[in-house]
A = this chain, B = another copy of it.
Amino acid sequence: MSLSSKRLHEEKVFKDPVHRYIHVRDTLIWLLIGTKEFQRLRRVRQLGTTSMTFHGAEHSRFSHSLGVYEITRRMINVFAGRDHWNEEDRLLVLSAALLHDVGHGPFSHSFEKVFHTDHEWWTRQIILGETEVNAVLRQVDPQFPQAVADVIAKKSSNKLMTSMISSQIDADRMDYLLRDAYYTGVSYGHFDLERILRVMRPECDQVVVKASGMHAVEDYIMSRYQMYWQVYFHPVTRSSEVILSKILWRVRKLQEKGYKFRQPPRHFASLFTNELSLDDYLRLDETVMYFYFQAWQDEEDPILRDLCTRFLNRRLFQYIEFQPEKREEDWQKLQQLFMEMGVDPDYYLVQDSSSDLPYDVYRPGAGERVPIQLLMPDGSLRELSQESNVVEAISGKKRTDYKLYYPKDTLSACGQRVAREEAVRILTRG
């Protein structure tokens, strides 16, 4: 019997703080959760370094993935029996929902910038390659893995399915907003999920929302806006992120220079040669990264040693508002002064802007995620920001937050009084 029609003898549930219970009826889903590639997500935190700012946010991508599955499941319950929804697509969407993040590595954002990896590419490898996930999916049908990968990669001809897990109001975002709000403990991030699900309708090309539910959607967009500015772009989190990135750059640089590591970055080795195998990649979880960070506190290289110690003990960089194009001269001068002080500006004077982050506010016109369409009483569709003042106000207006990060403590301890005092003067001029 194909796995496509197998059901568990008794429904299984996972206790979940956000959705109360996560319900599993299909044997396929149960088996996918049990694969080692999916279990690995327990060792990758959802919010990377955010727990340095919000100590409660220590939840993993495992929890989030279950949540995306559960929201999708409930969405399907609403769609059942309606036009444009084909019940035969159920397992396909559920699998895609569950597996959409399976290729994420630790601290993805920093990692990918330094090593040019791409979690979406790895997601496809895990689904299509020689993995337990693939073996389970093939039990449905030999074409099934490809179909799942296509939905996740937005290459499926069925755009409705894609929009369920990847659009401006999809199961992915709805889960992470609620979940990140719950674990950080902030009061933003809440919205009426049940109401939104009730007013969602399947259309030919995408999920739309009945106009009567517009205010619930506004509330969701506002939650998102608040979470971005209050949590995701928090300057302290970005400070940890800056240090983390610089560690990775340093390792790469040292490796290139032929530096002899006391604890060689064995797990990273093939990264440098672009020969990273799937197996290697799967071993690179957060615990392994931490192992190296800890070991590297004893390296000879003072920069790697210092950065790792900072990261582990949360000795973060200070920051000031600093928009480079407006202060080009200060920027040049600071770099020079840092060099005079013997503090390498490549690692210790870091510009960072929030627009570098993989989050955005609602943008109706651009981006790959389809905008939100309201289903009007007369059956026509209207893009959300056309109807909502509030959404119009925040959509598209990309606000960038420029910061300059530097180690205040190192400067204080620096013996080059003249250079130091001038640097401090510039840094505190604001």
Contacts and interface: CB of A to CB of B under 8 A. Distances in A.
A287 interface: yes
Contact of A16 (B34, B66, B185): B185
A230 interface: yes
A211 to B, nearest CB: 13
B185 A187 contact: no
Contacts of A226: 215, 218-219
Interface residues of A, number: 65
Given A16-B185, A184-B17, A390-B394, A56 B55 contact: no
Interface stretch (A190-198, A247-255, A269-277): A190-198
A384 B191 CA distance: 24
Contacts of A183: 17
A290 interface: yes
Interface of A is mostly: helix
A314 B56 contact: no
Interface stretch (A35-43, A112-120, A157-165, A417-425): A35-43
Contact of A55 (B55, B62, B392): B62
Contact of A15 (B42, B185, B225, B394): B185
A186 interface: yes
A359 interface: no
Contacts of A188: 192, 215, 219
Contact of A182 (B16, B17, B222, B314): B17
A381 to B, nearest CB: 18
Contacts of A195: 187
Contacts of A54: 15
Contacts of A323: none
Given A230-B215, A390-B393, A56 B63 contact: yes
A363 interface: no
A261 interface: no
A51 interface: yes
B58 A60 contact: yes
Interface in A202-219: 215, 218-219
A186 B15 contact: yes
A59 interface: yes
Contacts of A299: none
Contacts of A229: 215
Contact of A288 (B60, B191, B230, B291): B291
A20 interface: yes
A394 B219 CA distance: 13
11 contacts: A15-B186, A42-B51, A55-B62, A58-B59, A58-B60, A186-B192, A188-B192, A215-B226, A219-B222, A287-B287, A287-B290
Given A42-B314, A389-B393, 15 more contacts: A15-B54, A15-B186, A17-B56, A39-B314, A58-B63, A187-B191, A187-B195, A222-B390, A285-B290, A287-B287, A287-B288, A287-B291, A288-B294, A389-B399, A393-B394
